[in-house]
Each structure stands twice: as structure tokens, then as C-alpha cells.
Amino acid sequence: MMADVPWVALGSFASGVGSLYLLAQLREHWAKPGAKWFVATIGTITVWSTVYGTALLVSEPSRRLALEAVTWACLSWLGYVFVGFALGYTGRQATLESALFRGLALVPAAVTVLALSNGRAGLLWTEATVSRTTAGTVVNYTIQPLGYLAIFAAMLFVVFGTMLVFDTVLSYGPLYRREAIAVGLSPIPPGLAVLAWALDIGPAVNLTTLAFLPHLALDAYAFLGSDMFEFHPATRRAGERAAIDDIATPVAIVDVAGRVVNCNPAAEVMLGVAKRSVLTEPLDEHVEGDRFVPGEDDDRFGVANGGRRREYKLQQTELTDGGGSQLGYTVVFQDITDEIRRERRLEVLNRFLRHNVRNESVVIQARAELLAETLDGDEADHAATIERAVDRLVASGDKARTLSAASTDETDLEPVALRELVADIVDRLADEYEGSITVEVPADLTVESQPVLLGVIVENLVENALQHVPEANVTVRAVVDGDEVALSVTDDGPGIPDHELGVLERGEETALSHGSGMGLWLVSWAATTLGADLGFETSDGTTVTVGVPVVAAQDATGAV
């Protein structure tokens, strides 16, 4: 019985079965970008293959012509739904939902109406005759200009969709390359078959349904072998759009002349303009405040809008094409208004602490010292307690002022003679506190650091040990390890409490968890500013180690 079925019909039915199998595999991916349109594409192939295979077995002329009209309708819709898949799969959802794309559906709809009514109007083809061949029942006719136009429109849809998919290969590289190449190549076999049929090249029978077999094989490879709907470019395209449009930071794209070619909603708000009104206009004309110069960054760029001025840090990045030619700049406006205001408040607070609090503390300290000398018993002890508290308050203020005066630029480094710096600090502290201090630092060791911040670290670590450990034995040691010095301060005390180390790790203090002073905070802040790692070892006493870059190779031996 199968031997009586024409080979073209068998091939057509095979394409129909193959497309049905592929449709079955698509059920769980129905919600993925482009998947519904891909289902429509494969579904159209299923209808076309099944109808044409059946038509080859039908000899009655009117029914055969009716089935031929259905194949024309499938041809016209196939290109349109393939473009829909290409738009959705590559992340062009806005175009897919646009009125223009919906309006283009009138083309296949009109071709469908003309094909189904061609028996009366004869607008697509004329002089149709039905004949029986070894390939099955075929229809011979003369395609009219409108028919060629319909074929051309369908092919144009397919070519456009293929270009969209191949654009993914060029734009996104290897991430989506295998599936994009497979899907992009898949329309070629049926496209060539349609052209051969339309131009009357080869046998009279239309071999397009047979050409669907390699088409489906390529689609199956992309879907099953390369996870076409697991990794799709719509994610990356949406991410690229969100990276500019959805962030709160104003971003503008300008050409080399400083004219706006794109900007995000945050930039529209900053400039007080609508996007359409600013496109192709020089950005500088829409900035009320400082002058915008293409290609020049600015740490303090003021923008006045609606009578209010905000400060921005302006960063520009060159835009180039694949050949390295400069096309323009990506301009990012980082709002630093609140940061500047905080800096100003801190400056005022610092001046207040430096002058008012210190001056008043000196008065309290002097009067407390006078009372301690003139009073006896408990009254003298109370006065001494006040004097010690004021001493600690003044010392904390001095430490805070030292840190505020230091540079916060990690690159603002200079050569520092480490032995000399440590010795100066140790000599000063040895006169103030009991206990012994040993220095094991090579005399010729030079490090690259900020002297003020490095001094803050050494002084506060040594002072912390002398303050909290009675008659402490403190060792300051420097060991060269490659291009870095491990500078450590060790004491023989009970170790820093866990709650204080926890405060440093969290980077904040709370009402229930706070350090006993500013010393460790200063050490942590100074190390962070220097970009240095800070390590604590509390198993046997306390050892705090900080890494400092070496200026030149040194001999790590030597001790005092």
C-alpha cells in the first residue's frame, strides 16, 4: 500500500510528523521569548506539509485546487510568523508589539483571501490544469504578477527574520552562536525550493515540503542540542537596555561633537527635558550650570534645574566601532550632592571639635587638676576621675583630627623609612606608659605608604597594648615577604575581646555593641584607606599584622 503513495507525498507527511514531534517538545517552553511564534512557525509547516501531501493524493480538480490555495496561504503566513519568532527571540519585544508589525499581518491575510478566491478572480494564478504524475497529482498554472509579489513578500519576511537571527551571532558572539546559526540556516532549503517552484526550475511538483526535512533537523538541533530556549539573546538585550534605562543614574550617549543621540529617563529628569526634544541637540545647550565638554571628566559638575542645583561627578567613556574609530561618548552623571553636603557638615563638626570642645576641655582639665591638688579624700579622687576622663576625651579628639587631616587617596603614597617612623612613635609612648617595647625592624627598610596613616596604625596598636595590659611586653616586628612587609605589633596580654573584633568586622557600632575607644577604629580606617589587609591573632596574647608594600628589596634581619 505504501508503494502506491508518491514519494513526494511520503516526504511531505514525514515533514508533518517531524514538525508535530518538535511541537510536542515545545510545550514546556511556551512562555519563553519567541517560543509562541516558533510554535506558530512549526505549526504552519505542519499544516502545509500535511495538506500538500494529501493534495498529491487527490485527483478531483476542484478539491485539488482548493488544497493548492491552502498551500499558498501557508506560504504567505510562514514568513510573517518567522519574523515574529526572530523579533521575540532576539529581545525586540517592543517592535513585536508595535502597530507596524501588527499591520504587516494584512499582507498574508490578503494573500490568503486572494488564494482562497482565486478560482473566481484569478489574481494569483491562471490557466490551472490538474494532471497525474509519478510524483502525485500536480497543478500546473501561470503565476500572475500579484502572485509573484505575494511570493516575494513571503520570501522577504523570511530573509528579514534570518538577518535578525544572524545579527545575534555578530552582536553577542559565542554565547548564542550555535543555535542562532542553526535557526538562521534552516530557512535556506525551503527558500530555495520555493524559488525553484516559482521560477519553474526542475520538476513541476513543488518540493518545498521535502525541503522542510533539513529545516526541521536544524531546528531540532538548535532546540534539543543547543538549548535554544534555555539561553536566548532576549535576556542579554533586555539586560543591556535595563543597564541604562532602569538605573537611577543619569546616562547620556553623545557623538564626538557632544550632540545627544540617546539618554535614559534619569537623564531626562536631571535635565528637565523630554528625550525626543533633546535628541540631536548639543548636550551643553540643555545643561544649566557648568559647561559640558565632550571627552572631559569632571569631579564637580553642577547642573541647575528648576532653580535647584545639584552636583555630579562626570565620567565619560569613549564609544568606538569594531575598527577602533571613535563614535562618541557614554556620559555618566553620578550625583554627589548629598556626599558634598555630608562633607561640609563634617567640616563644620570637625572645626567645632577642634576649637570649642578642645578649648572647653582644657578649661575643665585645668580646674579638675587644681581641685585634685587642693582637695583631700573622696573629693580629690572625684576630681582626679574627672581629670582622667577629660584626658581621654582630649586624646580621642586629637586622634580624630589626625585621621581627618590624612589623605584618603590610596594612590597618594611615598617612600617611608619604617624603622625611623616606628622609633619616633615608640620613644614618645615609652615616656607615657609603663611596660617594655621591643623594635625588630631592619634599619634600611623602606616601605611605600602614607606616613600619617602608617603612624596612626603603629601608634594606636602599641598604645592600645600599653593601656590595657599592665606592664605589657610589646614587640613591633617587620618581616619582608617578597614585595610586601608584614608589620606586626604583639603583646602578652589577654587578647582583644571578641565583641570589639566583631564591631570592626561589621564596620559599625550599635548601642549594645561598641568598642571601648577609637584606637582600633583608627587602625581599621587607616588600613582600609591604605588598601592594606589587617589580621588579628588572639590565641596567645594579641598580634595585629598589616601588609605594607616594599620600595626595594631589603634584608629582613636586625633587632633592637
* 10-residue stretch averages of pLDDT, the chain, 560 residues long: 69 90 77 82 92 91 91 93 87 86 94 86 87 85 91 91 75 62 81 88 83 85 63 59 74 90 88 86 86 88 80 89 80 88 74 70 80 81 79 68 59 84 88 85 89 87 82 88 88 72 53 51 80 81 87 47
Displacement of CA 518 from its chain's centroid (Å): 38
Q: Residue 2 has what pLDDT?
A: 47
Q: Residue 497 has what pLDDT?
A: 67
Instruction: From residue 419, give the alpha-carbon distance in Å to each of 229, 252, 423, 477, 554.
Output: 64, 52, 6, 10, 12
pTM: 0.53
Instruction: From residue 461, give the alpha-carbon distance in Å to each of 187, 471, 484.
Output: 73, 15, 20
Half-sphere CA count of 462, side-chain side, radius 13 A: 29
Instruction: From residue 408, give the alpha-carbon distance in Å to each of 27, 89, 126, 194, 349.
Output: 58, 48, 85, 71, 19
Q: Residue 560 has what pLDDT?
A: 39
Rounded CA-CA distance 276/92 in Å is 20
Instruction: From residue 537, give the alpha-carbon distance in Å to each of 42, 469, 490, 495, 560.
Output: 67, 16, 9, 8, 23
Strand, helix or coil for residue 324 = coil
Q: Residue 172 has what pLDDT?
A: 58
Q: Residue 402 has what pLDDT?
A: 62
User: What one-character-per-residue DSSP string does 405-432 give?
Assistant: HS---TT--EEEEHHHHHHHHHHHHHTT
Nearest to residue 541, comparing CAs of 497, 501, 490, 505?
490
Q: What is the DSSP pairing of strand 436-440 with strand 446-449?
A: unpaired
Place of cell 512557525: 41
Q: Residue 553 has what pLDDT?
A: 47
Q: Which three cell numbers stand for residue 266?
A: 534619569
Rounded CA-CA distance 384/373 in Å is 9
Q: Residue 109 has what pLDDT?
A: 95
Q: Biggest alpha carbon distance in the chain?
A: 132
Kindly state the DSSP code that residue 98 receives in the 8-state scheme: S
Rounded CA-CA distance 327/333 in Å is 20
Rounded CA-CA distance 37/35 in Å is 5
What sign does the dihedral 194-195-196-201 (CA atoms) show?
positive
Q: Do the beta carbons of residue 450 and residue 414 sit within 8 Å?
A: yes
The span from the first CA to the last CA of the chain, in angstroms, equals: 107
Q: What is the DSSP pairing of strand 436-440 with strand 473-481?
A: parallel
Nearest to residue 306, comparing CAs of 272, 265, 264?
272
Rounded CA-CA distance 435/426 in Å is 11
